[in-house]
Every structure is written in C-alpha cells, then in structure tokens.
Amino acid sequence: MKLGMLTACLPALSLAEVAAWAGDAGYEALEVAAWPAVGGRDFEASHLPVARFDARAAEETNALMTRHGLEISALAYYENNLHPHPERRAGIHDHLRAVIDAAAALHVPYVGTFVGRDWTRPVVHSLDEAEKVFPGLVAYAADRGVRIIIENCVMEGWHPDGYPGNLAYSPELWDWMSGLGLYLNWDPSHLTWIGVDPVKTIAPYADRIVHAQAKDLQILPGAADRYGFFGKAVRRENPWDTGWWRYRVPGRGQVDWAAVVDALYEHGFTGTLSVEHEDPVWGGSEEKVKTGLEIAHRTLRPLIVA
C-alpha cells in the first residue's frame, strides 16, 4: 500500500510545484486532478493538459514524478456522466475520454469519475441510462489498458433537494456497478454520514476496491436533531452544507483509520490510499491546506507498512 494525495486541493499550483512539495512531505503517489482548464467548482483543478497531451508531455510528466520519488496512482475527473443536458453530458464524456488517453500515455492504471445522475428524473431512469452509457466508456478505457474507478460520494449538492446525485453511494449500487465493469475508488467518509460502517464494506468488495481515498468526517454534536438526515431545508445557500456534518482531514474526524488500514491489508489491498483534502478548518489558503495534508500524513503514515 502507498500513501498518496489528490492534487485538487492545491488548484493554484502547477503539477511541478505540487510534486515537489508532496515528495518533500513524504507522500509516495499523486492522484492527479485533470478537470478542464476553465470553469468548475471548489476542489477541482487542472494539473494535466489532457486535451493536448502527447508523448512528449507524458515523458516530461513521468520524469517529474521520478525526480520527486512519486508515482501517479490515478487521474481524477469527477463529473456527472449522466448529466440531464445532452450537450453538457457529451462534453463530459469527451473530456473523460481525453483523460483516459492521457492515463494510457502515462501508463497510469486508473481514471476516477462519478456515475452521476439525471436529477430531473427518478433513480430508475438514471440506472437505465447508465447501462447504456458506461459499457462504451469502460470498453474505451479497457482498449487502452485503463480501468474506470468510481468514488462512492453521495454528491448531494448536485440534487436540488439534497438527495443523492451520484448513484454509487451504497453497497447495493456497487453490486450494480460491477456488472458495468466499474471499480471503486473507495472513500469511508461518505459511508460514515449515511449510516454505513465503512470497515464492514471492505471484505465483501475487496476485489472491486482498487484505489482508496482518505477523507475523514465530523458529525457536529446535536445538529442532526435540528436538521434531520437530509440536512438544512429553509436556509441552505450552499448546496453542500447539510448543517450537521463536515469533511475533515484524516485524524480530525470519526473514521477509525487504524481499523480501515488494517482491514484493507487483511483483504489484500495493494493500491494507493490517497488523501482527499476538503477540510474547511484547514482550508482557505495554500499554507493551511498544506498543514492539513501534513496532519493527514502524520495520522496515516504510521499505519502503512513502509
């Protein structure tokens, strides 16, 4: 197992700057953000120019990793592949294929994304749509030696009422996804707030968990008694603010990281555990984000066999 980090938390830095810092900080791998260069939301970044990626860019990128003692564990483009607007959906798929091409050029085995959802229609409609959409994308990746991995994030902010916006949030959906040839970028934080014990999901899905993210979660004392499971309804200016929980860096929330890492080892996980930093306490500036990443490293490094 290697300890890595997702680069999206440092969008203002170049990949060269992130790699230099991460190598010095003791990280072993980068999950490289590969969103388009313009637009986007918080916690997105464009650290690889995949739309114009060629053999020379691949050679330079691999040389950069070697200089800093790093490897690229996956490329990250977490978008809604079932977006309800056809033009937007087509653009997402075009960019996803470009990310897959870049991964193949770099000999990176995984590209991470979301299943997503058409939030204007019932869940069953999106399940049917996914069964039409993903076989072609999975085949495109497989032809290039790449696997598509899906993060089990709920993406509640994508839904106008705060309901799941990514149909990959529960083990029931992981069974369905497996039939589409999709694998897991497993993240315990999302399971924690929806009431699923993350450690108990590792053994049954060990053959599908090929990459993992390390993000923690803090449940705010007493807040759920006011807002309920679905979160704020009256004044929810920020669609991602449920009012009763928040993301934290590993070691500052409620995930039992010793149990998580132990279970991953027990069930044969040999991939990368990649820190995904979305902690509002350790955010807002480059300096604070880096401090959050250092906290995560101090928490996880002693648990991972060198």
Q: Is the pLDDT of residue 75 over 80?
A: yes
63-72, 80-89, 215-224, 233-242 — which is least confidently predicted?
A: 233-242
Map 51-80 to HEC letters.
Answer: HHCCHHHHHHHHHHHHHCCCEEEEEEEEEE
Burial class (CB in 10 A: 0-12, 13-18, 19+), 91: middle
pLDDT at position 266, please? Answer: 98
d(CA 81, CA 133): 8
What integer is the mean pLDDT of 219-224? 96
Band (pLDDT 50/70/90 cuts) for residue 156 is very high
pLDDT at position 39, please? Answer: 59
What integer is the mean pLDDT of 204-229? 97
What integer is the mean pLDDT of 123-141? 98
Q: How much of the chain, in percent, has pLDDT values that exceed 90?
A: 96
d(CA 118, CA 270): 34
Long-range contacts of 202-207 (CB under 8 A, 24+ apart): 202/260, 202/263, 202/264, 202/267, 202/269, 203/263, 203/266, 203/267, 204/171, 205/171, 205/174, 206/267, 206/268, 206/269
Q: Is the pLDDT of residue 306 over 80?
A: no
β-bridge pairing 2-6 and 29-33: parallel
pLDDT at position 133, please? Answer: 98
Contact 272, 281 (CB under 8 A): no
Exposure on the CB side of residue 227, measured as CA atoms within 13 A: 20
3-state secondary structure of 147: strand
Geometric angle at alpha carbon 45, from 243 and 180, rounded to 5°: 80
Q: Which residues pair with 213 in a beta bridge?
A: 274
Q: Which domain holds residue 200?
A: 2-303
Burial class (CB in 10 A: 0-12, 13-18, 19+), 45: buried
Band (pLDDT 50/70/90 cuts) for residue 38 is low
pLDDT at position 81, please? Answer: 98
Band (pLDDT 50/70/90 cuts) for residue 131 is very high
Closest CA relative to residue 58, chosen from 38, 78, 44, 72 = 72
Percentage helix, strand, coil for the chain under 3-state DSSP, each rounded to 5: 40, 20, 40
102-116, 231-245, 247-261 — which is least confidently predicted?
A: 231-245
Number of domains in the chain: 1
Q: How much of the chain, in percent, has pLDDT values that exceed 70?
A: 99
Band (pLDDT 50/70/90 cuts) for residue 37 is confident
d(CA 264, CA 244): 29
Burial 59-75 (b: 16+ CB within 10 A, else e): eebbebbeebebbbbbb
124's tokens: 């069953």
Q: What is the pLDDT of residues 8-23, one digit of tens each?
A: 999 999 999 999 999 9
Tell me the backbone φ, ψ of residue 133, rounded to 5 degrees.
-80, -45
**CATH number of the domain that residue 275 is part of:** 3.20.20.150
Q: Is the pLDDT of residue 86 over 90?
A: yes
Contact 29, 271 (CB under 8 A): no
pLDDT at position 42, please? Answer: 72
Q: Which residues contact 153 (CB under 8 A, 6 or more apart)?
A: 78, 114, 166, 168, 169, 187, 190
